[in-house]
DNA sequence: CCGACGTACTGTATCGATATAGAAGGACTG
DNA sequence: CAGTCCTTCTATATCGATACAGTACGTCGG
């Protein structure tokens, strides 16, 4: 019923190819005929080549798939993720490519349907639970991939733009240890899934979520090297990477007799929540309790948060460029970016008597 | 080269249709054959039906196009837009539909290419410069549309989920007038385009951007009704809906002899910037200068901002539902949602002597 | 005047799937 | 045993475009 190339062709008595050329290769026909064709299209309500058909024929859709977790509020709410997405979007739109946001449902089957139905030229994986079964399907689809977390999750062919998570976390741990803290809690998201916020007894070498695993291991590296027995470190799960979860998690470290003198977190967002919890209890950050974040989001500086600064917009932009203009040199498709330790006011020397 | 349905069919000596059915209509073949097919697919590296081909044949792509302005940082940065997107994403993902984020370049031709190449089932227009030429193309494409701003921009067939912008703004204006303010500035974004932040001399009845136009007219309605001569109101353009632009715009109202005693803004984000500017000058919000926002984003409450509360997540969700499950009753496809005036601490009685 | 070349257009195969009608064979019914 | 129905699979047309080879015709150099 709606007009197609053929409709226009019939109307003017020219071939379908010519009408197609009028849109896609204007140099292939006379300007005069071209304008007659466009006029006829206008008249018949034809709005140009069907994007799906064109994509099928050309084998290209001009879209990058971005996987988001079930809880997509995070992608839009977490300042770090937002910055990353912005960089990605910039790189994409510079190449007239769009972003297809895929919400990956928890349910395995549904997840495979979503991924399987996604018409994209490439996938960008970031902040995705790396154990999800739908990831196998992505692998199988054989389209280019860039990942931001576990560099080995998709083999050497996948692009990678990330940081050395473990070494970065280690620097925070060393900073805290050097300040003399021995009573330490770690607030980390997705240590276990299931949505519980609270202390957990987990083996750092067996965490499923790569980023948290590496960061917790980095903390441990530093603390153990500084002589803090690992079994005295309180490990607290945050159900999500959200400010209020950070506050709820912190309560478990603060409301007990052997209160922690330092709380290491796996993200600035969680750390801000921890600071909220301190404030609610009249505790002074950096004096009574030291707190560290991770990412150095915009809000970190006004909050005086000690943290690890890592590129955000840049990281997204690089991911997009690797997908859309893959560098010849394979080494340039796998980037480990530098980070830096930013010391601010939320960390200070341990003032509590050592046990 | 990559495997297709036909590859699998040939391998097993069955018809292509049967292989297709194995994926899309499992009840159409024996479980035994189906598992042989899936096994063969696995073996040959076939990852399921090509999404583009499927979309072409089915005439459905399971995606909603979301237009974003050139400056897409806004979509990801403006808290109100983020909340709206989240609602939209929730509605979409509940129906296994994805969001295709389209970045609309300023350039007319490029914009038409982006829109024309977008494989989507529907469009959701929000925060889009409504004069952009690519919008005609969207109209012409004949897919369902939901808009969030000018209810008349796309005719009566388009869905609409919005608020009565003008009446809402009027309530803010009345509030300010009732407090006795007479020296008033308005900080509004996109009064004129071109990226200048500063006072402008513009006719409220001739603004191109619908939302700003309505809100400014609403302010005028209230002020004029209260006896404030319109030509004494200072109209200041903000180049973008961003916090720092709000601060920069406010400077023009504060750093002059006849300093405004009240500043009305078109968004909370701008208002927060205005508050920053007050703070930088040692002026007390609600005492020295009253400030109002619009939207009631999360940050408004802690800032004590007087504002208009409008639904955000809900508004996005409703838009998604109208697109994906259009109500039979046309009236339910055009929703004007209620708003409320939230009075907080940033507004107070005018303490300055009247001129 | 012939061959080479350029311009403007056409015809056909193809991209990879799904819908629909229909065929083959077995089971069940009366 | 004929007729009906169900299950299981097949054949063909189709979705709407683009790539590529090819045709027709005019021009130009020698």
CA-based R_g, chain A, Å:
26
- State whether A141 and B55 contact (CB < 8 Å): no
- State whether A86 and B72 contact (CB < 8 Å): yes
The residue of B50, B74, B99 whose CB has the most chain A CBs within 10 angstroms, and thus the best one to mutate to test that interface, is: B99
Residue ranges of alpha helices (H) inside chain B are: 5-12, 16-24, 31-44, 51-58, 73-77, 79-93, 108-116, 134-141, 165-178, 210-225, 243-254, 268-280, 313-324
Average pLDDT over residues B167-176: 98
pLDDT at A222 > cutoff 60: yes
How far apart CA A204 and CA A181 sit, in angstroms, is 20
Average pLDDT over residues B3-27: 95
Residues of A in contact with B113 (CB under 8 A): 96
- State whether A62 and B103 contact (CB < 8 Å): no
- Cβ–Cβ < 8 Å for A172, A219: yes
Residues of A in contact with B96 (CB under 8 A): 110, 113-114, 117
DSSP B266-331: SSHHHHHHHHHHHHHTTPPBTTTBEEE-SB--GGGTTTT-BEEE--SHHHHHHHHHHHHS--SSGG
Highest mean pLDDT among B59-73, B103-117, B287-301: B287-301
Q: Which of A117, A120, A128, A171 is nearest to A296 (CA)?
A: A171
How far apart CA A204 and CA A216 sit, in angstroms, is 6
| Cβ atoms within 10 Å, residue B225 | 12
Q: How far is A265 from chain B (nearest CA, A)?
A: 23
How far apart CA B76 and CA B101 sit, in angstroms, is 11
- Cβ–Cβ < 8 Å for B220, B167: no
pLDDT at B354 > cutoff 60: no
Q: Which residues contact A299 (CB under 8 A, 6 or more apart)?
A: A79, A268, A272, A305
Q: Is B48 on the interface with A (CB under 8 A)?
A: yes
Pairing of strands B145-147, B122-125: parallel
Average pLDDT over residues A245-254: 97
pLDDT of residue B290: 98
Q: Is A153 on the interface with B (CB under 8 A)?
A: no
> At B181, phi and psi to the nearest 5?
-75, 140
Burial A37-76 (b: 16+ CB within 10 A, else e): bbebbeeeebbbbbbbbbbbeeeebbbbbbbbbebbbbbb
The confidence band for B285, taking pLDDT boundaries of 50, 70 and 90, is very high
The confidence band for A71, taking pLDDT boundaries of 50, 70 and 90, is low
pLDDT digits (tens, 9 = 90+) for A141-197: 999 999 999 999 888 899 999 999 999 999 999 999 999 999 999 999 999 987 899
pLDDT of residue A194: 79
How far apart CA A154 and CA A237 sit, in angstroms, is 27
Q: Which of B77, B93, B99 sits opposite A105 (nearest CB)?
A: B93
What's the whole-number average pLDDT of chain A?
A: 94
Helical (H) or strand (E) element with A185: strand A184-189
Helical (H) or strand (E) element with A201: none
Average pLDDT over residues A23-34: 94
pLDDT at B73 > cutoff 70: no
Average pLDDT over residues A16-34: 95
- The interface residues of chain A toward chain B in range 118-137, judged by CB-CB distance below 8 A, are 118-119, 137
How far apart CA B217 and CA B223 sit, in angstroms, is 10
How far apart CA A42 and CA A39 sit, in angstroms, is 5
Residues of B in contact with A56 (CB under 8 A): 50, 52-53, 56
Q: How far is B83 from chain A (nearest CA, A)?
A: 8
Average pLDDT over residues B210-220: 97
pLDDT digits (tens, 9 = 90+) for A97-154: 999 999 888 888 899 999 999 999 999 998 777 778 889 999 999 999 999 999 998 8
pLDDT of residue A354: 56
Q: How far is A274 from chain B (nearest CA, A)?
A: 18
Q: Is A226 on the interface with B (CB under 8 A)?
A: no
Q: How far is A133 from chain B (nearest CA, A)?
A: 13
Q: In sequence order, what are the beta bridge partners of A235?
A: A186
Sign of CA dihedral A174, A176, A179, A184: negative
- State whether B116 and A51 contact (CB < 8 Å): yes
Give the single-character DSSP code of A158.
S
Q: Which residue of B has its CA nearest to A104?
A: B93
- Cβ–Cβ < 8 Å for A251, A277: yes
How many angstroms from the chain centroid is the CA of residue A337? 15
- State whether A99 and B101 contact (CB < 8 Å): yes
pLDDT of residue B249: 98
Q: Is the CB of B36 under 7 A from strand D?
A: no
- Cβ–Cβ < 8 Å for A232, A266: no
Q: Which residues contact A206 (CB under 8 A, 6 or more apart)?
A: none
Ramachandran area for residue B282 (φ above 0: left; ψ -120 to 50: alpha; else beta) = left
pLDDT at A2 > cutoff 90: no
User: Half-sphere exposure of residue A311, counting CA atoms within 13 Å on the CB side?
Assistant: 18
How far apart CA B13 and CA A173 sit, in angstroms, is 62
Q: Which residues contact B261 (CB under 8 A, 6 or more apart)?
A: B181, B182, B183, B184, B288, B289, B290, B350, B351, B352
- State whether A72 and B92 contact (CB < 8 Å): no
pLDDT digits (tens, 9 = 90+) for B149-161: 999 988 889 999 9
pLDDT of residue A58: 97
pLDDT of residue A68: 84
Q: Which long-range contacts (CB under 8 A, 24 or more apart) does A130-139 make?
A: A130/A208, A130/A209, A130/A210, A131/A208, A131/A209, A132/A104, A132/A108, A133/A108, A134/A104, A134/A108, A137/A112, A137/B47, A137/B48, A138/A67
Distance, CA of A17 to C1' of C7, in Å: 16
How far apart CA A150 and CA A30 sit, in angstroms, is 54
What's the whole-number average pLDDT of chain B?
A: 94
Sheet of strand B262-265: strand arrangement: B198-199, B234-238, B184-189, B262-265, B290-292
Residues of B in contact with A55 (CB under 8 A): 52, 119
pLDDT of residue A78: 83
């Amino acid at each position: 019923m709606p007009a197609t190339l053929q409709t226009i062709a019939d109307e003017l008595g020219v071939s379908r190819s010519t009408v197609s050329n009028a849109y896609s290769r204007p140099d292939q026909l006379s300007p005069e005929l071209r304008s007659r064709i466009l006029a006829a299209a206008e008249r018949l309500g034809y709005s140009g080549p069907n994007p799906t058909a064109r994509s099928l024929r050309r084998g290209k859709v001009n879209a990058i798939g971005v996987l988001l977790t079930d809880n997509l509020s995070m992608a839009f709410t977490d300042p770090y993720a937002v910055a990353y997405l912005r960089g990605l979007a910039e790189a994409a739109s510079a190449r007239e490519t769009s972003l297809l946001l895929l919400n990956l449902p928890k349910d395995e089957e549904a997840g495979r349907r979503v991924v399987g139905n996604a018409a994209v030229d490439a996938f960008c994986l970031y902040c995705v639970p790396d154990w999800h079964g739908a990831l196998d399907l992505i692998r199988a689809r054989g389209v280019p991939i860039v990942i931001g977390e576990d560099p080995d999750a998709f083999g050497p062919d996948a692009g990678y733009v990330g940081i050395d998570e473990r070494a970065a976390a280690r620097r925070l741990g060393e900073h805290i240890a050097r300040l003399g803290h021995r009573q330490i809690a770690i607030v980390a998201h997705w240590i276990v899934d299931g949505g519980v916020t609270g202390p957990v007894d987990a083996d750092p070498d067996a965490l499923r979520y790569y980023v948290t695993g590496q960061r917790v291991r980095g903390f441990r590296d530093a603390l153990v090297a500084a002589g803090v027995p690992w079994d005295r470190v309180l490990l607290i799960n945050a159900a999500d990477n959200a400010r209020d979860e950070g506050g709820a998690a912190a309560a478990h470290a603060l409301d007990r007799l052997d209160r922690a003198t330092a709380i290491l977190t796996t993200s600035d967002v969680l750390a801000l929540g921890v600071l909220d919890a301190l404030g609610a209890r009249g505790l002074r950050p950096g004096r009574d309790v030291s707190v560290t974040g991770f990412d150095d989001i915009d809000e970190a500086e006004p909050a005086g948060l000690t943290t690890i600064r890592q590129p955000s917009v840049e990281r997204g932009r690089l991911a997009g460029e690797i997908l859309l203009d893959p560098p010849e040199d394979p080494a340039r498709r796998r980037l480990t970016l530098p980070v830096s330790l930013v010391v601010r006011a939320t960390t200070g020397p341990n003032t509590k008597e050592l046990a």
